[in-house]
Amino acid sequence: MPDIFINDPKSAHTPGPQQLVNQEQYPQVSLDMKLPNEKKHELYGHTHNPLAAYCYVPDHLNFETQDKKEKVVLLLRRHPITNLPWIIFVILMLFAPLLLIVFPVTAFLPARFQLISIMAWYVFVFTYAFENFLVWFFNVNIITDERIVDIDFHNFVYKEVTDAELDNIEDVTYTMGGPIRTMFNYGNVFVQTAGEAQNIEMLGIPKPDRVAKILQELRQEEEIERIEGRIR
Amino acid sequence: MNDLGLAGLSVFGVLKFGFVLVFALYVVFAIVVVRQVNLMGETLKIGLDKILRVVSLLHFALVATLFLLALVVL
């Protein structure tokens, strides 16, 4: 009677899971992440401008909850054009004291009070501009090779950080409508996640079509990792 | 105008007290801004951290100067 428990010697040569996926099937994002640092500088969307609203594979970026092996793929902020309303308002506020020449509503106050009031006005304008800049600068969406992180500073005293694993992404939708958004190429990206995880909204970000494409490629990369058994 | 009184208090004395109180609260707010900029920089290290900290300290210095001027000049 044949021994059915003898291992088939041919099974020792069966290709392991690491060889199931062809290198050519790797998404472009995956290949870009493996480039040496000198080559990364030449990638489309890569910039060294710290005020950039779109930066592909940023050089020096760390965030609070980042894992040691986690790599940042994309840094996003609202498009700079979205700051125009408060910038215009600040400029108007800078010229507002000139109205006192035409409408001297503070003429009844002694000169020292008027001087302090005008100084206080300009310090307040500086505070207003600084707060708006900080809110724009630190409200970022970070896409890494593992998850999406949404960091929101609503004001000086309230911070909200949301993250969603790429594996949990169910649907990615992007919208770009209106003449101004079309002209300046910015829009919204909505990421729907599975289960009770919070959905992520990226509002007013540049190149929403490229962001959606990169998210799609990262999800493909996750699938490849799962096939190859490289799940972290 | 400087002799205006209200129950023995100068009107401009009351106004000065109001200014000083508002600026004192503004100084506290400026301290919170310095603290929050530091925390923001810890949450997200992205470059410009040091410049923003300097600007927040400059903002605090401006507000503190305003407060002192209100105390002395008014």
Residues of A contacting chain B (CB within 8 angstroms): 50-51, 58, 60-64, 75, 108-110, 112-113, 115-116, 119-120, 123, 126-127, 130-131, 134, 137-138, 140, 151, 153, 156-157, 159, 161
| B47/A60 touch (CB, cutoff 8 Å), yes or no | yes
Alpha-carbon distance of B20 to A230, in angstroms, equals 63
pLDDT of A22 above 70: no
Q: Is B55 on the interface with A (CB under 8 A)?
A: yes
Alpha-carbon distance of A83 to A136, in angstroms, equals 8
* Across A115-122, average pLDDT: 95
Instruction: Kindly state the helix (H) or strand (E) to which residue B59 belongs, with its residue range.
Output: helix B49-73
Which chain B residue is nearest to residue A159, measuring alpha carbons?
B40
Alpha-carbon distance of B25 to B61, in angstroms, equals 14
**Tens digit of pLDDT for each residue in A170-198?**
899 999 999 999 999 999 999 998 877 67
Considering only the beta carbons, identify the residue of A112, A115, A151 that sits closest to B44. A151
Q: What share of chain A is helix, strand, coil (3-state, %, to 5)?
A: 45, 25, 35
Residue A158 or A53, more confident:
A53
Q: What are the domain boundaries of chain A?
A: 9-78+139-227, 84-133
Question: Which class would CATH give A9-78+139-227?
Answer: mainly beta
In a domain, B30, yes or no: yes
> How much is the pTM?
0.84
* Across B48-55, average pLDDT: 92
Name the pLDDT band for B23 (thresholds 50, 70, 90).
very high
Q: Is B33 on the interface with A (CB under 8 A)?
A: yes
Range of the domain at B36: 25-73
Task: Report in angstroms the alpha-carbon separations of A203 from A133, A170, A199, A200.
Answer: 17, 19, 13, 10
Alpha-carbon distance of B31 to B63, in angstroms, equals 10
Residue to test with chain B: of A48, A106, A116, A157, most B Cβ within 10 A: A116
In a domain, B34, yes or no: yes
Partnered with residue A143 across adjacent β-strands are: A74, A148
pLDDT of A31 above 90: no
> What does the pLDDT read at residue A24?
63
> What does the pLDDT read at residue A63?
87
In a domain, B41, yes or no: yes
The answer to whether the CB of A187 falls within 8 A of the CB of A174 is yes
| A64/B23 touch (CB, cutoff 8 Å), yes or no | no
Total number of domains in chain B:
1
What is the interface pTM, i.e. ipTM, of the complex?
0.88
Q: Would you list the DSSP string of B3-27?
A: T-EETTEEHHHHHHHHHHHHHHHHH
In a domain, B65, yes or no: yes
Q: Is B59 on the interface with A (CB under 8 A)?
A: yes
Name the pLDDT band for A3 (thresholds 50, 70, 90).
low
Residue A58 or A196, more confident:
A58
Alpha-carbon distance of B59 to A157, in angstroms, equals 17
Contacts of A130 in chain B (CB under 8 A): 33, 55-56, 59
How many beta-carbon pairs under 8 angstroms link A with B? 81
Contacts of A63 in chain B (CB under 8 A): 43-45
